Amino acid sequence: MGRYFGTDGFRGEVNEILRVEHAFKIGRFLGWYYGKEKKAKIVIGKDTRRSSYMFEDALASGITASGADAYLLHVTTTPSVSYTTRTEDFDCGIMISASHNPYYDNGIKIISGKGHKIEAEVESQIEDYIDGLIGELPLAKREKIGRTVDYIAGRNRYIGYLISLITHSFKGMKIGLDCSNGSAFTIAKSVFDSVGAKTYVINDEPNGLNINENAGSTNIEILQKFVKENNLDVGFAYDGDADRCIAVDETGEVVDGDLILYVCGKYLKEEGRLNDDMVVTTIMSNIGLYKAFDKAGLKYEQTAVGDKYVYECMVNNNYSLGGEQSGHIIFSKYATTGDGILTSLMVMEVIKSRKKTLNELHKEVKIFPQLLKNVRVADKKEALEDPKVQEAIASVIKALGDDGRILVRESGTEPVIRVMVEAQSHEICEKYVDQVAKLLK
């Protein structure tokens, strides 16, 4: 990770870690970097946080001051920015969002002209500019000053693209959508309504302060209750910028990213659409998923945590499907990043094509109990390298043997260490997670 940019952009508490001058400088650098030999075009999207408007203004000011044009998609999803950037000849895209974090955090994600997260070397140069290690950049003068362009049409074209991918009518299906009071509220319902679904929507009234608050993919119990109370066929929950999707089946059971990878992976293999019969996962995926993959004849590769690493593996090997337990799912034929709404449409394709319920489709997977705790620390590197912590981790590895595992890692987006244990019972998970967490504290 860099000085400011983590695995998912530059993220932190607004006006504490991520400040408005940072946004202005990022805009200044990108406008200059892509405009050295031409008039650069940069597209910007944002989620529903109150601060997103402030950062949008600052980024656009920096971009235009450097002579590039800033195109505003307004409130939209991260995958829509990715789609617009790669299909409409933009030099890069910017998404203002802190994803599943609370409203008082925000983030700036930079997307390359190919629609995926920007290269690390460009992020490093931006960090040098922020820190004053690069001399001041030239300002555009007179007619060379850039324009700010309203570009809501780009978001509408993305909606049309999603609708074009739907191969079955959803008529008669009762579908619940939890929009997390975030970006999905501008897109999701119109997509599902367009193909006949009876759509029930919750958490679609953002006020700038309620994004992800008791809502969305990180608070899935809200959708579980809603699905059961309304006898829905299926429910889908998104996070703040809608690049994640977690589903709920008709019984109210949670269908996380691992189960979605199984349902879609098995279906694509049976249809001859899964390159090399391979699914890319991260080290966080459950042991039970791999046992089910083995039984279904699916192969798998593991990457570090972060959908950017999943996508890199997919691109380098021409794989079709990959994702994370947290709900970032990538279908490389259709997208270059995790896309929550696209994921829900792909799950619906399997349901409709196989004429089975979602519960029937995932029940073959026996998930091992898993417990994850986040431990806030002053220095992540120092905490992880402490000899007593290392000794405790080694002790747990030995005790679990082949019947479980422990994973202790730094968060790429927060000042926390994540401690995860999988074992044959919740009691065993809790025992070993607490054992390591206490030492980290």
Residue type for position 204: D
Q: Is 47 annotated as a binding residue?
A: no
Structure-model confidence comparison of residues 322 and 415, the more confident one: 322
241 annotated to a ligand binding site: yes
Q: Which CATH class is domain 165-362?
A: alpha beta
Answer yes or no: are the C-beta atoms of 257 and 367 closer than 8 Å: no
Read off the pLDDT of each residue in 252-280 and give the average, rounded to a whole number. Answer: 98
Give the pLDDT score at 238: 98
Whether 99 is a known active-site residue: answer yes
| Helical residues (DSSP H) of 297-379, grouped into ranges | 307-317, 340-354, 358-362
Same fold, 5-155 and 165-362: yes
Tell me the CATH number of domain 370-440, given options 3.40.50.300, 3.30.310.50, 3.40.309.10, 2.10.70.10: 3.30.310.50
Residues 65-122: tens digit of each pLDDT = 999 999 999 999 999 999 999 999 999 999 999 999 999 999 999 999 999 889 999 9
- Using alpha carbons, select from 261, 305, 307 the residue that is nearest to residue 408: 305
Answer whether residue 1 shows pLDDT above 70.
Answer: no
Distance, in Å, from the CA atom of 394 to the CA atom of 112, rounded to the nearest integer, reads 40
pLDDT at 240: 97
Do the beta carbons of residue 81 and residue 158 sit within 8 Å? no
Looking at residue 339, its pLDDT comes to 97
Q: What is the pLDDT of residue 383?
A: 86
pLDDT at 12 over 90: yes
Closest residue by Cα to residue 221 from 263, 253, 261:
253
CATH number 3.40.120.10 is the correct assignment for the domain at 5-155: yes
For 86, 238, 360, the CA distances from 225, given in Å and listed in that order, are 38, 16, 20
Determine which one of 82, 99, 112, 217 is catalytic: 99
Q: Is 258 annotated as a binding residue?
A: no
For residues 392 and 387, give the distance between their C-alpha atoms in angstroms, rounded to a whole number: 9
Classify residue 327 by its DSSP letter: S
When the pLDDT of each residue in the chain is averaged and rounded to a whole number, the result is 95
For residue range 275-306, what is the model confidence (pLDDT) as tens digits? 999 999 999 899 899 999 999 999 999 999 88
CA dihedral 315, 318, 319, 322 (to 10 degrees): 10
Query: Measuring CA to CA, which residue among 47, 46, 26, 38 is closest to residue 89?
Result: 38
In this prediction, residues 16-40 reach a mean pLDDT of: 97
Instruction: Report percent pLDDT > 70 for the chain.
Output: 100
Residue 57 is assigned to a ligand binding site: no
**pLDDT tens digits, 395-431:** 999 999 878 889 998 887 778 999 999 998 999 999 9
State pLDDT tens for residues 167-224. 999 999 999 999 999 999 999 999 999 999 999 999 999 999 999 999 999 999 999 9
Q: Measured between alpha carbons, how far is 414 from 301 in angstroms, rounded to an integer?
A: 26
List the chain domain ranges: 5-155, 165-362, 370-440
Q: What are phi and psi of 226, to 5 degrees?
A: -65, -40
- The mean pLDDT of 141-166, rounded to a whole number, is 97
